[in-house]
Amino acid sequence: GESVGLHLPTLSVQEGDNSIINCAYSNSASDYFIWYKQESGKGPQFIIDIRSNMDKRQGQRVTVLLNKTVKHLSLQIAATQPGDSAVYFCAENRRAGSYQLTFGKGTKLSVIP
Amino acid sequence: DAGITQSPRHKVTETGTPVTLRCHQTENHRYMYWYRQDPGHGLRLIHYSYGVKDTDKGEVSDGYSVSRSKTEDFLLTLESATSSQTSVYFCAISESPGHALYGYTFGSGTRLTVV
């Protein structure tokens, strides 16, 4: 697949442990955030989203936390599995009403069996 | 990816030649986007479309043009390919305004190599 993992921060996690992937954003006016997962050779896939009027949102095995004070977003993956190995991107909607997303550079998650 | 198809999946072309990449969707989504993905840069927006014949530039539009003559098709053209345009290109689609979900659906990508 495409070598999109070069030059990326890497997080290595033991199978079964929890993973925390962090993302800093720059625009305090951003009102919507999304986490995407990208496996090798594939396009990014939607994982979970959160609006700026929320602090936390939970999905299946994933939780997104938003700290607007420090402009920080995190993705928590519970009981990490080998299938979670991928590059994870955060994305923000910097202009309300716009459908343009700005993406972070990504973090590569490697799960150790 | 369901509902969105990119073609070709891989292409090698020579410097100075024109190249057109195609994105086709079956979701009837209004918004379509072209991104390029490079190591160290993440996904960067090239051009986007908010309707038939309605397009606008993104942050890295130099050297690229787009066209959207039908809702389902969004074409990206490199008029004269350069080695700096070697990249993986992704098309994405999103719902019309008023829908609660802003997220994109991405295609599987086109790997373009300019030699």
Instruction: Name the minimum distance, in Å, from the CA of A67 to any CA of chain B.
Output: 20
**What residues form DSSP beta bridges with A21?**
A75
Cβ of B43 and A3 within 8 Å? no
Q: How far apart are CA A61 and CA B114, in angstroms?
A: 41
CB contact under 8 A, A49 and B103: yes
pLDDT score of B79: 94
pLDDT in tens, B38-93: 987 889 999 999 999 999 999 899 999 999 999 999 999 999 999 999 999 999 99
Residue B98 touches partner A, C-beta closer than 8 Å: no
B40 touches chain A (CB under 8 A): yes
Residues linked to residue A36 through DSSP beta bridges, in sequence order: A46, A89
Place of tokens 């390029």: B36
Answer whether residue B99 shows pLDDT above 70: no
Mutate to test the interface with A, among B46, B86, B104 (most CBs of A within 10 A): B104
Residue B31: closest CA among chain A residues belongs to which residue?
A: A99
Neighbours of A82 (CB within 10 A): 10
Per-residue pLDDT of chain A (113 residues; tens, 9 = 90+): 333 344 678 999 999 999 999 999 988 888 889 999 999 989 999 999 999 999 999 999 999 999 999 999 999 999 999 999 999 999 988 776 666 788 888 999 999 99
CB contact under 8 A, A103 and B111: no
Band (pLDDT 50/70/90 cuts) for residue B24 is very high
Least CA distance to A97: which residue of chain B?
B97
Q: Quote the pLDDT of residue A94.
A: 79
